[in-house]
Structure 1
Amino acid sequence: MAYNIAVIPGDGIGTEVVSAVRPLLDEAADREGVSLSYTGFDWGSQRYLEEGSMMPADGVDTLRGYDAILLGAVGHPEIPDHVTLRGLMLPIRKRLDQRVCERPSVLYEGVESPLRGYEGGDIDFVIFRENTEGEYADVGGREHQGFDHELAVQSAVFTREGTETVVRAAFEAASEREENLTNVTKSNAQAYGMVLWDEVVADIAEEYPDVTVERLLVDAAAMDLVRRPEEFDVLVTSNLFGDVLTDLGAIIAGTMGLAPSANLNVDGTAPSMFEPVHGSAPDIAGEGIANPLATVLSGAMLFEHLGEAAPAARLRETVQEQLADPNAPRTLDLGGNAGTEAVVTDLEARL
């Protein structure tokens, strides 16, 4: 099989990790009889600084013709984050109907969690985050700017269809894993959108009688992810809560440098997008020391979504093998002193 992949390296270390990892993805694909062809798009903060927009007006439509999208990272210290996010990532997620964000957190053998007493295999859960509406809906506005009575209104939007989409994806995953699902909400304080959310979870739970459902308020969930992370399997939550909890999940599993993600169009009507969670990290950009493993694992998710289980498994197994080897090169976030290229070179030798 041959697949056409749109590549948006983006900003900061995004360009470095994507450049380093692409040959590894090609090799994993080749060994399993799969081929990838890439089209690169230099969209991002530099384009914004030069032309006033993160991507061209027809950018999202251009992406529709590809089988998948690989994104490096977005963000620049000279541009407010809401500008970069709303100028690139959110339009792609929304207009390509990527309603489900899937973010696994795995504590691998050989990786130390900041939570004492945990070892590889103890922590292994996945968070399903609603990805196109909720608290990130572009509904609201500002009035009377510059005056003492200035105000801002930001509305969260929860649709039954959007909620059902991510909740059903989470139940499907739970039924294939350990049959445990945690619904993370805040319906005691948000009595409309979040109550609808809880009702949808309860309705869909009836279709999955073998899945045990736990309900947690988001503040309790944040506490329990630290207190008892080994008990979680699949969590489902809203856009904002998912954004926060997945960063927490990445850190308790060792480092943001191991956190992949998938922005999924579950209907197959448009391409899905895969990206490391770590961001553009401008403080280390250009130094060649960024951890490439989150991008490698995002590549594994990309292959899996395309139905190519063999290269996905090969990449994951290679990462696991490297992390378990105390003599393997490691980047600074994993306690080593190796650079990006050294880690990728070692992975290539292990494929």
Structure 2
Amino acid sequence: MAKTKTIAVLAGDGIGPEVTAQARRVLEVLELDIAFEEAPVGGAAYLAAGHPLPPETLALAARADAILFGAVGDPRFDGLERALRPEQAILGLRKELGLFANLRPARLFPGLEDASALKPEVARQIDLMILRELTGDVYFGDKGRGFTHTGLREGHDLMRYDEVEVARIARVGFEMACRRKRVLHSVDKANVLETSQLWREVVNEVARDYPAVKLIHMYCDNAAMQLVRAPGQFDVIVTGNLFGDILSDQASMCAGSIGMLPSASIRAWTGENGLYEPIHGSAPDIAGQGKANPCAAILSSAMLLRHSLDLDAPALRIEAAVEAAIAGAARTPDLGGTLSTTAMGDAVLAAL
């Protein structure tokens, strides 16, 4: 008899609980053998337990088969020391669970051409995967504040990668490219950064094991330009933490709205303890107003089924239901419509 799978629901702050609730509704209606366990994270956890990632929440995440994550961030806690700010929860989860590979698919759903910042004929080209390294780069490097020898305030953030970190994310990128169109763009800034020169060297070394994949190196500034000029040239993009953060948000607006893009944070090709979340933030300015688009969270639940539970058929059903709801003119405010968060969830459920 198959073991019931456990999904840790870490809804977080702002609109996190609102969109996560809709994703959970969709999973529940599929009547799969899964159980949900909730725990606070981010600002909500700080209020409840004095820390954005309490030991109990981390323990649940570590033993769960997958994590459905909402969002963290609350301006009320901006004055706290860095270690206690809500955003440290997601950084801590990535580090403690070894979630170094972030999958961020971006494609334009038919009917959302007008929501894209691009011309419709350009926007229709978008169907790509951005693979972002998650546990290195300036986000985790040495950082601090101080003063220059003349007394001026200064800050520093160390960008660093070692060859093992680069090789493992590169290998995930090549494996992903093998399953798609066999084209991999590696994005760096090797013309000015030593870190990127190492990145490029190691990616070239890994490429020898994947002769069937066409490898193209591209500077990050050029990649940003090409994403809006000719996005159809991209299929899989592999890049570091900082560049991936920026480019994936840019891709979301090319595809219509940041409210449409899901993500998965995993350990290479094993989905054990994978973390699934919309790429948008907690959006405290609209929290509690029912304006948030739940599609990214719902699509994240599809990625959860596919990568962590090996359930591709129900994942495809969810994705098809979102596409059908969009095709049926279901729109939240970010897409130019008037549907509430719950009503958009209703539209997806109806299509499902």
Question: What TM-score, normalized to structure 1?
Answer: 0.92
Identify the residue that residue 322 of structure 2 maps to in structure 1: 319
Amino acid of the structure 2 residue aligned with 1:93: R
- The answer to whether structure 1 residue 129 and structure 2 residue 132 are counterparts is yes
State which of 43, 52, 55 in structure 1 corresponds to 2:53.
Answer: 55
Q: Which residue does the alignment assign to 1:264?
A: 266
Which residue is 2:211 aligned to? 209
Instruction: State the Cα distance separating 1:80 from its structure 2 match.
Output: 2.8
SS at match of 1:215: strand
Gaps of 5+ in 2: none
How far the C-alpha of 1:49 sits from its partner, in A, is 4.3
Answer yes or no: is the 8 Å Cα contact 1:97–1:270 preserved in 2: no
1:114-167: CA deviation from partner (whole Å, max 9, x where unpaired): 10133775210010000101121142333359x934443321220211111111
Q: 1:195 to 1:58 in 2, by over 3 A?
A: farther
Relative distance call for 1:51 and 1:138 in structure 2 (3 A) is farther
The 3 A distance-change label for structure 1 pair 59 and 344 is closer
Q: Partner of 2:138: helix, strand, or coil? A: coil
In 2, Cα distance between equivalents of 1:11 and 1:74 = 5
1:57 to partner: Cα distance:
3.9
Matched AA of 2:284:
P
Distance in 2, matches of 1:123 and 1:228, equals 9
Counterparts in 2 of 1:178 and 1:312: CA distance versus 1, 3 Å = same
Q: In structure 2, what is the Cα distance between the partners aligned to 1:266 and 1:278?
A: 23
Cα distance in 1 for partners of 2:209, 2:86 equals 36
Tell me, what secondary structure is at the counterpart of 1:135?
helix
Q: Deviations over 1:29-74 (max 9, x none)?
A: x2xxx32101100222133246542122454234211101110011
Q: Show the counterpart of 2:117.
A: 114
SS in 2 for 1:153: strand
Q: Which residue of 1 aligns with 2:65?
A: 67
Q: Which runs of 4+ in 1 moved over 3 A?
A: 49-52, 81-86, 267-270
Residue in structure 1 matched with residue 181 of structure 2 by the alignment:
178
1:99: which partner in 2? Answer: 100
Residue-by-residue CA offset, 1:85-108 (whole Å, 9 max, x unaligned) = 552000100110001001011001
Provide the rounded CA distance (Å) in 2 between the counterparts of 1:47 and 1:285: 17
Aligned to 1:246: 248
Equivalent residue pairs, number: 343
Describe the SS at the equivalent of 1:210: coil
SS at match of 1:125: strand
Could you tell me whether the CA contact under 8 Å between 2:77 and 2:86 is conserved in 1? no
Match of 1:167 among 167, 170, 195: 170
Q: Which residue matches 1:335?
A: 336
Aligned: 1:158 with 2:161: yes
Matched residue, 1:12: 14
Any conservation in 2 of the 1:55–1:88 contact (CA below 8 Å)? yes
Q: Which moved more, 1:280-289 or 1:83-92?
A: 83-92
Could you tell me which runs of 5 or more consecutive residues in structure 1 were left unpaired when the two chains were aligned.
Answer: none
Which of 202, 211, 232 is equivalent to 2:234? 232
Distance 1:3 1:121 in 2: 37
Distance in 2, Cα, partners of 1:60 & 1:47:
11
Question: Secondary structure at the residue paired with 2:28?
Answer: helix
Between 1:55-64 and 1:229-238, the stretch displaced more is 55-64
TM-score by structure 2 length? 0.92
| Structure 1 contact 26–35 (Cα < 8 Å) conserved | no
User: What residue is the counterpart of 1:41 in the other structure?
Assistant: 39
* Segment drifting more, 48-57 vs 259-268: 48-57
Q: Secondary structure at the match of 1:4?
A: strand
1:194, distance to aligned residue in structure 2 (A): 1.1
| Alpha-carbon shift at residue 75 of structure 1 (Å) | 0.8
Contact 2:101/2:267 (<8 A) preserved: yes
**CA distance change for structure 1 residues 271 and 149 in 2, over 3 Å: closer, same or farther?**
same
* Other structure's SS at 2:211 match: coil
RMSD in angstroms over aligned alpha carbons? Answer: 2.0
Percent identity between the two aligned chains: 38
The answer to whether the 8 A contact 2:12-2:70 is kept is: yes
